[in-house]
């Protein structure tokens, strides 16, 4: 499958936040590492383009996509029906809740019903504490082999709705990637630009 073409076609319908080069490379890395992908979960929604792209590009068998997130007031409304239509016949689950709540984790467990996640995307809370909590809460559900994806490892500033919160990089997802994930596991860093976006890929 030509991932670049697929990215362009999906991006016409649902905005994909990740840079084209990074998203296409990510799909290629996962496809070369995992023979089968049946469950993908992403924390952090935006418009849902990234999850739609990965689901369409990677699914090989009975499939389910899980999205966790609360729509920030400054972003485009998340259209769950549009995402579900794009990834059909895969099953789509939208958990509209804070990923850090134990009740949310229980909902994920109920959906999985004993199965494991093949690809876990951490793209929600971008503070170090936030991404670490997501990692600790949901990585136990990752299959072996499996892939953990961390977005924005090149983020230069923690800016939300135009507000710079003044966090040092070590206190954001950048620090957690550099200090923890990139040192503990075989990994790949995908970067199309030096000061924004960037994807960390952990191969389990």
DSSP labels for the chain? --HHHHHHHHHHHS---S-HHHHHHHHHHHHHH-S---EEEEE--TTSHHHHHHHHHH--SS-EEEEE----TTSPPP-HHHHHHHHTTSEEEEE-S-TTSHHHHHHHHHHHTT--EEEEEE-S--BHHHHHHHHHHHGGGEEEEEEEEEE-TT--S-EETTEE----GGGBHHHHIIIIIHHHS-EEEE-SSSSS--EEEEE-
Phi/psi at 104 (nearest 5 deg)? -70, -45
The CATH number assigned to the domain holding 8 equals 3.40.50.150
Residue 202 in tokens: 């952990």
- State the residue range of the domain holding 38: 3-203
pTM of the model: 0.90
Count: domains in the chain: 1
pLDDT given at position 141 = 98
Residue 74 in tokens: 């400054």
**pLDDT tens per residue, range 4-37:** 999 999 999 998 988 899 999 999 999 999 999 9
Q: How confident is the model at residue 74 (pLDDT cuts 50, 70, 90)?
A: very low
Q: Can you tell me the distance from the alpha carbon of 53 to that of 204, in angstroms, rounded to the nearest whole number?
A: 22
**pLDDT tens per residue, range 31-48:** 999 999 999 999 987 788
């Amino acid at each position: 499958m030509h991932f670049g073409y697929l990215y362009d076609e999906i991006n016409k319908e649902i905005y994909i936040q990740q840079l084209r080069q990074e998203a296409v490379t990510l799909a290629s890395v996962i496809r070369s590492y995992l023979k089968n992908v049946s469950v993908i979960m992403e924390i952090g929604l935006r418009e849902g383009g990234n999850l739609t792209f990965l689901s369409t590009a990677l699914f090989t068998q009975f499939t389910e996509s899980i999205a966790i997130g609360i729509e920030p007031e400054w972003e485009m409304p998340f259209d769950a029906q549009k995402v579900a239509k794009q990834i059909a016949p895969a099953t789509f689950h939208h958990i509209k809740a804070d990923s850090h709540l134990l009740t949310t984790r229980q909902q994920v467990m109920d959906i999985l019903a004993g199965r494991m996640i093949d690809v876990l995307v951490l793209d929600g809370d971008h503070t170090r504490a936030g991404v670490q909590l997501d990692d600790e809460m949901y990585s136990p559900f990752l299959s072996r082999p499996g892939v953990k994806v961390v977005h924005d490892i090149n983020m230069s500033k923690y800016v939300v709705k135009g507000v710079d919160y003044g966090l040092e990089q070590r206190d954001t997802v950048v620090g957690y990637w550099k200090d923890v994930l990139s040192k503990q596991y075989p990994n790949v860093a995908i970067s199309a630009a030096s000061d924004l976006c960037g994807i960390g890929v952990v191969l389990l």
